[in-house]
Structure 1
Amino acid sequence: MSIEHHSISVHFVQTLVRAMEQSDIDARQAMLDAGMNPELLQLPQLRVTPEQFSRLILLAWQRMDDEFLGLGSRPCRYGVFSLMARQAINCKSLKSALYHITRFYNLIADALTLSLEVHGEDAYFDMRLTSPEQDMDHALCELLMMLWHRFPSWLIGQKIQLKEIWFTYPEPEHSSEYRLIYPCPIRYNQPVNRLVLDRKYLQAPVVQTKQTLLAYLQSSPLNWFKRQAYYPVFTRKVVRCLEKDEGFVSLNMEQIAAELNVTSRTLRRKLTEEKTSFQQLKDGIRRDAAIHYLSQPGIPVAEISRRLGFSEPAAFTRAFKQWTGVPPAVYRQS
C-alpha cells in the first residue's frame, strides 16, 4: 500500500501540551491549529498522524521561540537547528559533521553538552542535559536523541545502524513506542545518553547538497516522524507482507509463513519470542491505515471499512473503538 503505516501515541502529544502550558502558551489553541481535538487528549489509546504531530511541534517551536520546548536549562531559539544544518552540509564526512554538531551546540546551547569519542571499533555520540530534572517526561531527551540519529543518517544518505542507545532514566511506561523511534537495543539508567555506532560510519561522505537541504528543512519536522518502524526480524517480514495486501483479507498466517519459507508453527513461535503476534500486527497496521484514511474527509467510513477488510462498517466501528477509545465518526470530527 502507498500510505504511511505509522501513527503516534497520544502520550507524546500530552507531554508536548504540558511543555507548552508550562511556558504559558495556549496549548488548546495550538492543538486546534494542528488539526487535533483537545477534548480527546485524555484518551490513553488515542493515536495521531505524523502530520498532526509535526504541525503541533512546529507551532510549539514558533510560539515558544524555543527548539528545546522550555524543557532545557536555557532556551534554544527557533531557527538554531536550521543554522547548524546549513553549516553541516559543507562537511566532507560523517565524522566532521558530527564534530560540527557537537562544537555548534556546545557553543550556543547551555542546556546540553555533546561529545563524540571513538573507542576501538565503536563511536560514541553522547549527550548530557544540564538540568535533566526539567525534562520530567523525557520529551526533550527523546526528541534530541532521535534527531542526532536521523539527521546524520540523512546527511550520508543511508540509515546508520546503531548498536545501542543509552538513556539516563529508567524504562518509561511508553517504552513500547520506542520501536517506532530507535533502531537498536536500548539501555536505561545509564550515566549518559549515548548513540553507539560502528566507527566505519565516520568515514562515510556527506552526499546531501544545499539544494536537497532546502527541501529537507521545508519538510521538517515531519520527515523526522515518518520513518519506518524499527521492528525485529520476523515482525518486520510479516509487516511487509501485510502491507502488500491491499484488502487486508487475502493473506492469513499460513500464507505468510509459506511466503517466508517457514511453517506457521515456527512463525508463531518467532513472533512470540519478539513479543507480538500475527493478529496484533494486523490490527496495528489496520489501525494506522484507518487513522490515515479518517484524516481525509473525502473517504466515507463505509469505504474505509471495505478497504481494511471488514465485513461491514459496524465491525470496523467496534474494532476502531477498541483500538483508540473512540468510534471512527468521533475521531474524524476531531
Structure 2
Amino acid sequence: MKNEVTMKDADFVSFEQFDLLIQLIVQKTTNENIGLYFGEQSNIAALGVVGQLIQTSKTIGNGIEQALSFFNLISNVITLRLQKEATSFKLYFEIDKAVKEKYPITYKQLVVSSMTFIYKEIHFLALQKKHPTHVAFDFEIDAISLYERIFQCSVDSKNEQNFIEFPSEILEEKIVYADYELFVHLEKIVCKRLTAQKGKSEKVTDTVKEVICKLLNPDFPKLTTVANHLHISERALQRKLKKENTTYSQLLSELKKSMAVEYLASTNSIKEISYLLGYSNPSAFVNAFKSWYQISPSLYREERICIN
C-alpha cells in the first residue's frame, strides 16, 4: 500500500521567497558555490520526524528508503530517486525544468547543498568516511577542483542529470543511531551535569560548555557557532576564555573527556565512540583517552564492569 502524506502549502516557505534569499546571499558573499557550505553546515535534525525515522533505521539502505517514502515532507520542489546498479547505487536529484529555467542561481545552490548534505549524512549515520565514486551536475561548475576535493571523487558538470553515486555495500552499513534514544540519553546526562556546575559558577567556561552541549548534533560546534549563539564576536569570546586561562579547544577536550566515560558505560563500540566524539579514527580516540586517564578505554570499560 502506498503511503500518502500531505501538508498544507502554508507549512512550506514559498520558492519565490527562498529564491530572493539565496540570490541575496550569493550577491553579498560573492560566492557562487555557497551551496557547498549550506550542505556541510546542515544536519539531519533539521529534517524533523523524517530525520528521526532515518536515524533509527537499521541500515543506510533502510534510511534511504525512509527518505524516499517521506521526501515530500522535506521539500516540495526537489525529488529524490534511487537507482540500484550491479556494483553501485545512484541518488538522483530532480527538479522541474521550469524551476531551473526561472530560478537558475537558486536551482544550482539547492542541488549542490542537497548533494553535499546527503554525502555528509552518510558519514554521520555510518560513523565512518564513505566517499562517493562519482558526482554529476546538469549545470556548469567553474571550480571543479573544489568540488572534487570536497566529494573526494571525480565530478562532472553540464551532465544530463544530477546524481551522486556510491558503492553498493554502503547500503548494508549499519546505522549506529538505531539506538538513538540511548545516544540522546547520554548527551542529556552530560548536559545536566554541566548545568548543575553552572548553577554554582558564573564562569564563561561553564556557559560555553553548556552552549556546546545544546548545539551538539552530535558534531561539536565550531567556535564561530558558539560565539554567534552568545551574540559576541569570536575574538571577544577568545579573550574571555583567555582571562579564565583556557581556550575553546581545551574546553572541547574537557567535554570529550567527560562524555567518553559516559559512552563507555553504554554498549557502543570503541569505534562508534571515537566517531561520536569527533575523532577521525579509533586510534586517535584511544590515544586521547590514555592521555586523560592513563589507561586504554577498553581496560577502563572492563574495570568499570568488574566494579559494578
**TM-score interval w.r.t. the shorter chain?**
0.3 to 0.5
TM-score by length of 1: 0.43
Q: Which has the higher contact order (CA 8 A, sep 6+)?
A: 1
Which has the larger share of helix? Answer: 2
TM-score by length of 2: 0.46
